[in-house]
Amino acid sequence: MDRTDRRLVAALRADGRASYAELARAVGLSASSVHERVTKLETAGVITGYRAVVDPVSVGIGVTAIVGIEPGENGQDDPIAAALDATPEVESCYQVAGDNAFVVVVRVADIEELSQVLGRLRAIPGVARTRTTVVLSTVFEGRPRPDRPPTDGGS
Amino acid sequence: MDRTDRRLVAALRADGRASYAELARAVGLSASSVHERVTKLETAGVITGYRAVVDPVSVGIGVTAIVGIEPGENGQDDPIAAALDATPEVESCYQVAGDNAFVVVVRVADIEELSQVLGRLRAIPGVARTRTTVVLSTVFEGRPRPDRPPTDGGS
DNA sequence: ATTGAAATTTGGTCGCC
DNA sequence: GGCGACCAAATTTCAAT
């Protein structure tokens, strides 16, 4: 993971369909060198996949909610995590410190579906209660952090 | 947005680098038809981009926190949103209902950097306080919802 | 809209530096 | 590690339907 690798990762985070020729121009190497580096980054697990980013409204999941999952007194985390994993409306699932064992991001078509999903989340064994925060608007999301220039050690 | 478009979007959400030839095989059309459809989905704003998914630890952002931003009595939302946008460590920003005006996802290298970023967030004019939840582990994240088969009207 | 065919570009492998 | 060359495969354009 030298500077070139970091620049390649940053470029692919910004445009996951960039061609090796484009990446080569961006980092000043040949396409075959870039190909070898990117392959290594993929096999090393640094790059875990590529995804199209989609307008949620267009694909029928225009309503987003952030839901805290509070477990009961002696609730185990693992079966709760498995139940959340089995709920397709749960897009992301974080195990967290604090009152909630988990915070999940739920995406659904409308408020009615949100209500149904929240009912299912509450019905998960070991879940004592849920705390739901409805998203009014997504200001921005999943933004790639720009590649930071190497720290200048000072003059 | 017919059934074929939805299948293309689902396929590209699962693999953003899928070739047109692969997509064509998946939906049973020619590569050129798929190309035209995907181009239209892009220009229509249904597909907004393509991103490489990266292991956060490998790129030096192994610590994630979910931070609620509570505004003051007469704090305006727009300048707060602009300040959050100008903070590169803020990966996602949601305007929400409830006590917090915003919930943001922060990604940083370590707890020390988290502390610094939280200080900067609290220093944003109009922000009364922040509520931070540290992520202990990411169970899953940004999972594409599988394409749902068309609703059977029943027999 | 979809297609097949044509022209261009890219992906992926190899030997060499 | 990086490079240029190579060939198979893909992207992209286009006229016809």
Q: Which two tokens stand for residue A149?
A: 């220039």
B90-109 residues touching A, CB cutoff 8 A: 90-98, 100, 102-103, 107
**Amino acid identity of A63?**
V
pLDDT surpassing 70 at residue A1: yes
Residue A141 contacts residue A66 (beta carbons within 8 Å): no
**Amino acid identity of B27?**
V
A9-42 pLDDT, tens digit per residue, is: 999 999 999 999 999 999 999 999 999 999 999 9
Residue B123 contacts residue B53 (beta carbons within 8 Å): no
Q: Return the nearest residue to C5, CA–C1'.
A: B32
Q: Which of B13, B134, B137 sits opposite A54 (nearest CB)?
A: B13
Q: What is the pLDDT of residue A155?
A: 61
Question: What average pLDDT does chain A have?
Answer: 94
Q: Which two tokens stand for residue A42?
A: 């993929």
Give every residue of chain B whose pLDDT is below 70, as ranges.
Answer: 150, 152-155
Q: What is the pLDDT of residue B155?
A: 60
- Nearest Cα residue to A68 out of A79, A54, A52, A80: A80
A58-80 pLDDT, tens digit per residue, is: 999 999 999 999 999 887 889 99
| DSSP-based three-state secondary structure for B58 | helix
Please report, rounded to whole angstroms, the spatial distance between the CA atom of protein residue A83 and the C1' atom of nucleotide D6: 52
Please report, rounded to whole angstroms, the spatial distance between the CA atom of protein residue B32 and the C1' atom of nucleotide C6: 13
Q: What is the pLDDT of residue A100?
A: 81
Handedness of CA A38, A42, A46, A49 (dihedral sign): positive
pLDDT surpassing 60 at residue A98: yes
- Nearest Cα residue to A24 out of A15, A38, A34: A34
Any idea which nucleotide's C1' is nearest the CA of A30? D3
Instruction: Determine if strand C comes within 7 Å of the CB of A42.
Output: no
Please report, rounded to whole angstroms, the spatial distance between the CA atom of protein residue A20 and the C1' atom of nucleotide D15: 32
Q: Which of B1, B9, B136 sits opposite A95 (nearest CB)?
A: B136
